[in-house]
Amino acid sequence: MDFSAIIPALPGLWIGMITTLELLVLGVCGGVALGTALALMRLSHNKTLAKIAATYVSYFRSIPLLLVITWFYFAVPFVLRWITGVDTPVGAFSSCLVAFVMFEAAYFCEIVRAGIQAIPRGQMGAAYALGMTYGQTMRLVILPQAFRKMTPLLLQQSIILFQDTSLVYTVGLMDLLNAARSRGDILGQPHEFLIFAGLVYFVISFTASRAVKHLQKRLAV
């Protein structure tokens, strides 16, 4: 094993890491936003909305993420061409981002729903008694408390998403893992570069997991 070639290759690997982090941050933000909307739909008294959200969550939680990434990579350009009538080039990054947002939203939805249901029902009634609307109650009373309770779970799911970003190699997106694999193949040192990439994933995931556990103790009521 000779790891001396990794140091000169760090700039190229850092570019791959930036792609990974961009997918992570945008995927989490989009997934939480869509997941929150789905959670509110599932808790809605409107049976149609609740059924649509439940079907969405059940579907995406029943299929592998790799299939979703591959499907969106080929489907997004086709859908755009069907809508606009012209060929619209869609890069691997955009299609992977859509896949992550759509897939992770199903998991974030259940986390948000559990967080909302953990808030005592009396607080909803108290807010209504003060003259608040449903939207004001959710925005000012329920969701702030719910997000405090579910922050550790949201962060834990984000760590899982960080690990899952490595699946984008299937569509040729140059993330950290793909950058390490490509550089290792070029230099004839695939094992060293893959071991290095694995260590990076381990250090970041392990450190983040420890931080989440510490945060969970701090937020405990």
Yes or no: say if 106 and 113 are a contact pair by the CB < 8 Å rule.
Answer: no
Predicted local distance difference test score (pLDDT) of residue 15: 93
Ranges of the chain with pLDDT below 70: 87-89, 219-221
- The gap from C-alpha 142 to its chain's centroid, in whole angstroms, comes to 23
CA distances from 116 to 34, 60, 109, 124, 141 (A): 15, 21, 11, 11, 10
Interval 99-154: pLDDT, tens: 999 999 999 999 999 999 988 888 888 888 888 888 888 888 889 888 888 888 99
pTM: 0.88
For residue 221, give the DSSP letter.
-
Task: Work out whether the CA dihedral 196, 199, 201, 204 comes out positive or negative.
Answer: negative
- DSSP letter for each residue of 65-123: HHHHHHHHHHHHHHHHHHHHSS-----HHHHHHHHHHHHHHHHHHHHHHHHHHTS-HHH
Yes or no: say if 177 and 167 are a contact pair by the CB < 8 Å rule.
Answer: no
Predicted local distance difference test score (pLDDT) of residue 179: 92
Predicted local distance difference test score (pLDDT) of residue 104: 95
Q: Which domains does the chain have, with CATH numbers?
A: 18-150+157-173 (1.10.3720.10)
